[in-house]
Structure 1
Amino acid sequence: MTNKTINGLYAITDPALTPDERLLPAVEAALFGGARLLQYRDKTASADQRRRRASQLRALCHEYDALFIVNDDPALAAEVGADGVHIGQSDGGIATARALLGDNRIIGVTCHGDLRLARQAADAGADYLAMGRFFASRTKPQAPPADIASLKQACDEFPLPVVAIGGVNADNAPLLIQAGAASVAVIEALFGHSDPADIEAAARRISDLF
């Protein structure tokens, strides 16, 4: 059974920042720096590439006792034995993902800053709620903005872990943690660095906030 504890640093890959030759060293640096979850997000690779990379990342995450999540693809998550999947509002729904993954895998849902969406996800059986974006984000600049008040309300209202996302770095993460976020999801502040040593250092700075 998967340990569903969602807390700490949640690293998310990006194909522009972590291309194929850099992916595994970059992810291992983040894990060594304390990342507790890793989401594989790549909408550009072929099905075979995604399957290969997901299998490699799953093995690497489990070496570091971290959870491995696949973005937007419950079938791939099931195929490679991922710990779970993260889905958006247009990715087939929780019931479809649950049917593929079973009861013991994690399903996280993007809720933006919308408490109505968060309630729907919680009622449908989500394991965590992702709220944001809270700060300007170069990797997802079109994502609708969310405010800290909505994060705090979500953390107070729902018994589920809330993951805060959107432009998060070591300087602004404390605001999100103080508001109740169980985890902060980070892309550019980690993988915007080209040197694995810098990725590790950035991961450690954020991990130490928890």
Structure 2
Amino acid sequence: MNCTEVLPLQGLYVITPQRANKAGAAGDQAAWLARIEAALAGGARWLQYRDKSPDPGQRLADAGMLRALTQRHGAGLIINDDVALAQAVGADGVHLGQEDGSVPEARTLLGPAAIIGVTCHDRIDLALEAAAAGASYVAFGAFFPSRSKPKATLAPLNLLSQARAELDLPICAIGGVNAGNAAELKAAGADLIAVIDAVFTADDPRLTATQLAAIF
């Protein structure tokens, strides 16, 4: 199932955690997949596969398994940075950083229905450029201190309300998001809340995902 035509860009958006064993040992991979599936079962509507591994075979295998999981749970799959990998596994789209290629190039390869997100940090001008280029959504952050990107510049909360006033496309908030602060991001204008640690370091990823998804 391709979710792009039926699944709105709204709700809980989880980003895959790194495995403890970067070599992808079978037991570690099973535990990694189990936590991701728990988050999907808890209500995550979108999943982003983000892995900087230099092993293309491992990345292809991972993405293929995640495509199957998201299809099983009726969620969308986005691939971070890698348009060719998104195309290879039939993902719903790709998320691009500022140095990861252009929206038009990604759209040419993935097609008109593909979801293409763009990282815009704390800058509304980058979001306006992304929107003009045909992005499907823009992502701002970090809004709170983040273990995943500890050096990220913190974005002000009012950036979301400014973006809501100036942009006509979904807005994603990322960076240090948890059950204690997600509601204020939504209230300020976020359509999607992107989460890593708050879900995947929790004792019960499914329960935490359920709590975060309930905000929507």
TM-score between both structures, scaled by the size of structure 1: 0.95
Q: Does 1:209 align with 2:215?
A: yes
Query: How well do the aligned residues superpose, as a CA RMSD in angstroms?
Result: 1.4
1:52 aligns with 2:99: no
The answer as to 2:114 corresponding to 1:144 is no
Q: Are 2:19 and 2:29, in contact at CA under 8 Å, matched by a contact in 1? A: no
State whether residues 107 and 116 of structure 2, in contact with CA within 8 Å, keep that contact through their aligned partners in structure 1.
yes
Q: 1:173 to 1:26 in 2, by over 3 A?
A: same
Residue 92 of structure 1 is matched in structure 2 by 101
| Superposition map of 1:94-133 within 5 A | 94-133=103-142
SS, match of residue 112 in structure 1: coil
Q: Secondary structure at the match of 1:38?
A: strand
Q: Which residue among 164, 178, 183 is the counterpart of 1:169?
A: 178
Partner-residue secondary structure (3-state), 2:148: coil
Q: TM-score, normalised on structure 2?
A: 0.92
Amino acid at match of 2:99: S
The one-letter amino acid paired with 1:61 is: T
Rounded to whole Å, the distance in 1 between the matches of 2:38 and 2:69 is 11
Q: Which digits, 9 at most, give the CA deviation of each residue in 1:67-101, with x for residues without a partner?
A: 00000001100110000000000001112211210
CA–CA separation in structure 1 for the residues paired with 2:10 and 2:20: 24
Verify: 1:80 aligned to 2:89, yes or no.
yes
Q: Would you identify which runs of 4 or more consecutive aligned residues in structure 1 move more than 3 Å?
A: 16-19
How many equivalent residue pairs?
207
- The corresponding residue for 1:65 is 74
- Equivalent position to 2:13, from 10, 13, 18: 10
2:155 aligns to what SS in structure 1? coil
Structure 1 contact 113–151 (Cα < 8 Å) conserved: no
Alignment match, 1:199: 205
Cα-to-partner distance string for 1:46-77 (whole Å, 9 max, x where unaligned): 10000011011011101111000000001100
2:144 pairs with 135, 139, 152, which one?
135
CA distance in structure 2 between the partners assigned to 1:20 and 1:71 by the alignment:
19
Find the aligned partners of 2:194 and 2:20 in 1 and give their Cα distance: 15
- Structure 2 runs not aligned, ≥5 long: 22-27
What whole-Å deviation, never above 9, does each CA across 1:142-163 have from its counterpart, x for those lacking one?
2221011111111221110000
Shift of residue 6, structure 1, vs aligned partner: 0.6
Matching of residue 182 in structure 1 with residue 188 in structure 2 = no
Per-residue CA shift, 1:122-158, capped at 9, x if unaligned? 0000000001100000011122210111111112211
Contact 1:15-1:44 at 8 Å conserved across structures: no
Secondary structure of 1:117's aligned partner: helix
Kindly provide the amino acid, as one letter, of the partner of residue 126 in structure 1. Answer: A
